[in-house]
Structure 1
Amino acid sequence: MSPNQELGLWQSEKIQPHHRERLAIVYVRQSTLQQVLDHQESTRLQYGLAQRAVGLGWSQERVLTIDDDLGKSGSSAEGRIGFQRLVSEVGLNHVGLILGIEMSRLARCSKDWHQLLEICALFGTLIADLDGIYDPGQYNDRLLLGLKGTMSEAELHILKQRLVQGKRNKAQRGELGFHVPIGYVRRPSGEVIFDPDEQAQQVVKLIFRKFEALGTLNAVLRYLVKQQIQIGVRHYSGSHKGDLEWRRPNRPTLQNLLKNPAYAGAYAYGRQQTDLRRKQAGRPHTGQVVMTPENWYVLIQDHHPAYISWEQYQHNQAQLKANRNRADELGNPRSGGALLSGLLVCEKCGCRMNVQYYQGNLPRYVCCRAASDYGGSLCQYLAGTCLDEYVSQQVLSALEPIALELSLQAETHLEQERGELDKLWQQRLERAEFESQRAGRHYRLVEPENRLVARQLAQEWEAKLKDYQHLQEEYKRFSHQQPKSLSESEKQMVRQLAEDLPTLWHSSSTTPVQRKEIVRQVIHRIRVDVQGESERVQVMIEWIGGTLTQAQIIRPVARWTQLSNYPQLCQRLEQLAQAQLSSQEITQCLIAEGFYPPKRLTTLKPDEVQKLMRDLGLGKRRGALERESLAEHEWWLTDLALALEMPMVTLYNWVRRGWVKARKQTHAPHHWIIWADTAELERLKTHRQCPSGEIQRQRWQGKVPEITIPPTEGKPS
């Protein structure tokens, strides 16, 4: 077909003069960058549509080519700057004709396609492809355009479904290739095997063993950094493809290594799947969700050699999950002073109790779920020191029968760890020696006359020799600090510490994190129930083996009245006071009978007992002469303070200011005597309830507060 005949197919009465007054836009798009590079004929055909627009009556300067979307998929308008620009130009009534070789170039999404049709119909814009020219404002043309857009979307779906199903079928056979993780290599036949480098294998095995021993990813990272252990990584592409490079350890690498089921010998496909609710339009790799092994598309165990068992892999995932700082997880041990963080459960509501610190590093366990979530009150709380001490005693008692076994295991563990580190050092030395010898061979093989190359190779050989010498010196220092086997003195020290567990437990060298790890090895959880506001706490320890230990401990409280035996204490104090005993004698009697102070001090003190007796009105009895010397409506200062329910020091301050009627005894012990009848008592109670700033406010106003002026009648002489 000649160009003129082909152009005749495009001639249509639908093109009106007002269309030619506006722009003709040629939209150019290829789905991927590979298509742009390898399928240039399609790109040239799309650019050639500009000449079609000229043939339809548009001038060259009125033809606009939009090619901003080369290499972008048409499945969504998000991220397609060219398509968005096209829609904007149509909405501004700047476009008379849109040209594309087919409808799939414009959009492969029904939502975007019909939005474009609506705007084109509204502003009278025509759409043209290789088959003809269409007017979206006409029903027949719009029906055909809608059908073409649906076919474009269906075509994309069919292609994608075919590719995805092919990948899944290949994955079900375990043949879908993937980048093998650190510690593995793939043979040309496709078989996955261990990395032939022994040092690379040894480092991977060490990482899994240390995670099993230490329990946290950060602890493993700190250990590798401290021991100067690097991880061998092979290049996947480039000029150094297949070469082994030693890199410093980092958190992302360790996390990927611990979470990858390939190290358990399993072939997995579908570990991450797309959640359409989280997917962001225009970003094809968003919306990825990590799935549980039960929801993976493919899981083939014993597919290739394994560094760990499948059970160990599952245990590692459970440990990583438990280390997360979440309310429903135990969390990893931290450096705080609270021994039982993450283990305590409130018996009243079943929620996990939190840790709060006050006065520096003193722990307090609080159940605050109702307060934080619903604005209610605290469920219960208690000081952490008393509970930590009790649980420590229980743990040490449980570990005491196996102290000898623990010491033997500690010796074996230390020797095994030192042996592994020594083996890594030997492999590093062997590698450094080989590299220095290879550099020497390269230097000796060069022609002496080629001085440019010889000088460079000599410098490389010298650098390798220096590295080897430096590594030898570091190994000597390491061997001196940590010999391969334990000495007899070190073994004896381990046995002595194991036999005296309390000393090791309370030693300053034992960190809070280590104590918490020991507790978590033997205790599953601890349920706590504080008995009202009293000092009694019901504790139930659930051990790992299923055994349950119940006990009642004493916690410190703020007031005497919170003690559960407070009524008995008051009754006993009254009996001892009637016996005319001294404060020291009363204190000794109370200690012998098992009474204790509210703040859980070591023992009762005479001054505390004396103060409590004064508060109860059980002070030392006055003699008969003193009782008879009081006139009507006269009070001893201590008795009046008790009657007014106010501190004795405050009433004494009123006496000094002259706010009450008072006199002092003329003979020893010179006690104060205060006059107060019924009216005076009411006045003093009113004064007691008066706000602290009321008297000062009246004085600022130039008034004399009446409440501070006692009546003159009946004043003691």
Structure 2
Amino acid sequence: ILCGRCGERMTVRYHSREGRLWPEYVCQRDGIEHARPLCQRVPGAGIDQAIGELLVEAVSPMALEVALSVQQELQHRIDEADRLRQKQVERAQYEADLARRRYMRVDPDNRLVADSLEAEWNSKLRNLSEAQQERERQREQDRKVLSEPHRAAILALATDFPALWRDPKTPDRERKRMIRLLLEDITLLRGEQITLHIRFKGGATKTLTLRLPLNSWQLRQTNPDVVKEIDQLLDQYTYPQIAAILNQRGLRSGAGKAFTSRFIANIQRSYSLTLRYDRLRKAGMLTVEEMAAALGICRQRVTVWNRHGLIKGHAYNNKNDCLYEPPGENPPRKAQGIKLSQRALIKVVSQRIEEVQCEA
């Protein structure tokens, strides 16, 4: 691995995270030798994956081509060996014919020469028979070598590399060995993107461009759609209510956890969402002091009247502190001798009676 800025070799660091080792390529030669800042550092997980896919893509047709070449080479060698054995048979046949002619021309009365030529003829015939048998035996073996199962085994070489590379049982050190056999070097340059200049053995080159991996906080970031939903819910609900609504809908945070009141508050601050208090004030709601002044009562009585339904308050925090709707033209007033619960009940009953009369 070479640095795309200074050309020096980069080193690899491994970080343990979630039970796995994650590589990081670092150019630190100047830092080691001259105490200078790191030239560049590049996260390696995406790089390793991209290199692996490139090798699988590049090696598969190469492996198929090599497999076919091997098959053709085997056939060529077998044919060449058969031609040589055929020449040996022809030579043995020639020597046997020559020995026969010599024997046929000898004087029968010269038994010593005749016996010698006969023995030579028999020897040449044995050599011819052995050469013919050897050729047939080798041809039978060659037919087995080039049988359909063997052809299929040769063609299967094209799929061995992808299967081996993607096998989770293959150790990383074996993958590194395969990379060293196939690649000359890789140059990394980190900018807005990660650029890889890859040089294969033999001179072929390839350039890849990868997106920079997200930081850990970005990986755990809450979905923007959920943030938008929280912004809308703040118009009507408090933090605990919003958390309950989101959990009921099956939504989860960026870390995959259920929502809580504290998490909703963090989202509101992180994304500068308008506070529920400010939303209610913008809608014309009154504080407890303003409501007390408008009704001519104390702050405590405002809370009591809100609890009994004489006025309408809207909670804006986890403590159930409220802002109140303006009392309007006919605000509630003090009524000595009548309990608050009875005042609310009378109001409801009167409404019910009016509705019945209208229907009649």
TM-score, normalised via structure 2 length: 0.42
Select the structure with the greater relative contact order (CA < 8 A; seq sep ≥ 6). Answer: 2
Q: Which has the larger radius of gyration?
A: 2
Q: Larger % of helix: which?
A: 2
